[in-house]
Structure 1
Amino acid sequence: MQSDTKLTQAPNVIFKNKIYQMFTILGSTKKYEVFIPVDYYAKLQKENIQVKYKQNNKVIKKTLSLTIVDGKYKKNEIISVPNGKVVLSKKNKIRSKKEYDIVYKKVYSVINRKDYIKKSNFRMPLQAKITSAFGNARVYNGKTKSYHSGSDFRAKTGTKIYASNDGRVALVMNRFYLGNVIYIDHGRGAYSYYCHLNSFNVKENQLIRKGDLIAFSGATGRITGPHLHYAVRLYNTTVDPLQFGSLYNRIIKEYY
């Protein structure tokens, strides 16, 4: 967004009843940007976005429109795992629920508007072949259970994993499905996370820089073999991590 005159405060964007804060470009009081996530299950239709800002002590609202289009994701990715990883026992259901509650409290519900990354572009957590893309519908043992919420990289156990950008380590834990996982808070409502790890090289609340060695890949959690599952959540919505990184880097290149 670009304003013709200086704004007294950063604009907000309202989309589907959620408020997203815009950030200045190069410290300007006239140029702002924001990334708005669209849910995987969103209807393919036109939607309105409201931009709200204050100019000369007057609140101004403008309505824009966008069209949500089909991501054209692969429909059936066949995966075979032990049945206990698909049909959970009572014990594992309780465990999975407790783990989710911890992550929700420390990550999913925490929208940190601090800007850790500033002008730093995103990098890959490792250089390797992608074996499964974001958005694929996953069929576990003959049952469609979910869509793939990240990108899988081929990585034998012990492969070095690097932080995709600057941030703060929000959570380090072991989860039933994701195995050993690290969540990094990049600010601006964005988190990246790294799953199925063999071991960690960081601690919670540690400030890190892009390219820091954070972990070693492994085969923990619900897996068919060792690999890295890399994912991004933006304002508590799972988005394509590679698309997000590419779009953010384009903004950096164009304006910074």
Structure 2
Amino acid sequence: MRLLVFSLFFTCSVFALNINISNTTIANGKTALMEFKKEKNIYYEKIVVDKKTYKIFDNPINSKKSYVLLPISYYEKPSEKKVELFYKEAKKEKTKVLFFNVEDGKYKKEKIKVDGSKVSLSKEDTKRAAKEYAEAMQIYKTTNEKIYMSKSFIVPLSTKITSDFGKARVYNDSLKGYHSGTDFRAKIGTPLVACNDGLVVLAKDRFYSGGSVIIDHGQGIYSCYYHMSKFDVKKGSLVKKGELLGLSGDTGRVTGPHLHFSFRVGGEQVDPLQLIELINNNLLNK
């Protein structure tokens, strides 16, 4: 059963501040949302969790609200997390503390057989993969103040999901991490579209993910499309929701053709479908 615990909001009035919180219990790999109603003489700045800082942004469609997304790492263990809220009241710096509980997402395992060259790498391939990883992480840790999205998100194609987010991946009987996105069935040459407006910040072939497109939707939100066979966009392209990005394929480390669809928020890899539901039902819903 999927964990869909973020679609309902409650209002936190403990501190006499108008704050909506999606849920105070978050599974690892999921995202929570905090919304703040703008009030006279109060300016919300940021939250800090485990020394990580997340900036509070204006709501993209409602000028009376601001928001922050709180992504929880897949590797986070069940625990109680302190969230420090920093804000100004009448130009005076203030801090309030809230608490979130992290729970185990109880993800399953799956065994995958791939070409041995994609598991036991040569020095050359190891160097290439490391370089590509560093390039991607540099992108993800960049928070663009500009917001591109103003409409609800869609999925890049509507086909059967063949592998959910979070499954532990056992490649050729060796545990190699977890599934960092959602896989959609797609024969080679299936059109793939942008899930929302954004800026293409990467469009290239990579060792693990093959033909890859990454879109910056603004304010630390990135969507990713992997294993593509053809690009119809390039780095620097501005794309609209539903615009053709290219065609699906079987490039990179795969067992067959499909689309790997994933998201990063504040640098963290998160469940893409849960994030889409969260944003559509709350942030982009007046």
> TM-score over 0.5 for the alignment?
yes
2:90 aligned to which of 51, 56, 68: 56
Distance 1:102 1:11 in 2: 29
Distance 1:139 1:162 in 2: 30
Structure 2 residue 114 is matched with structure 1 residue 81: yes
How is 1:1-256 mapped onto 2 (pairs within 5 angstroms)?
Answer: 1=19, 2=36, 5-7=39-41, 9-25=43-59, 26-28=62-64, 31-74=65-108, 76-105=109-138, 107-117=139-149, 119-252=150-283, 254=285, 256=286
After superposition, the C-alpha distances for 1:85-109 in whole angstroms (9 at most, x for unaligned) are 111111111111122222233x123
Aligned length: 250
Shift of 1:11: 2.5
Q: Is the 8 A contact 1:10 1:21 kept in 2?
A: no
Q: Is the 8 A contact 2:38 2:66 kept in 1?
A: no
AA at the equivalent of 1:206: S
Shift of 1:8: 5.4
- The two structures, once aligned, show a CA RMSD in angstroms of 1.4
Shift of 1:7: 4.1
Identity %: 43
Q: Is the 8 A contact 1:116 1:167 kept in 2?
A: yes
| Secondary structure at the counterpart of residue 152 of structure 1 | strand
Stretches of 4+ aligned residues off by more than 4 angstroms: none
AA at the equivalent of 1:32: S
Higher strand proportion, which one?
2
Distance 1:153 1:203 in 2: 23
Q: Is the 8 A contact 2:151 2:284 kept in 1?
A: no
| Secondary structure at the counterpart of residue 131 of structure 2 | helix
Change (3 A) 1:142 1:157: same
AA at the equivalent of 2:168: A
AA at the equivalent of 2:63: G
AA at the equivalent of 2:58: T
TM-score by length of 1: 0.94
Q: Is the 8 A contact 2:187 2:257 kept in 1?
A: yes
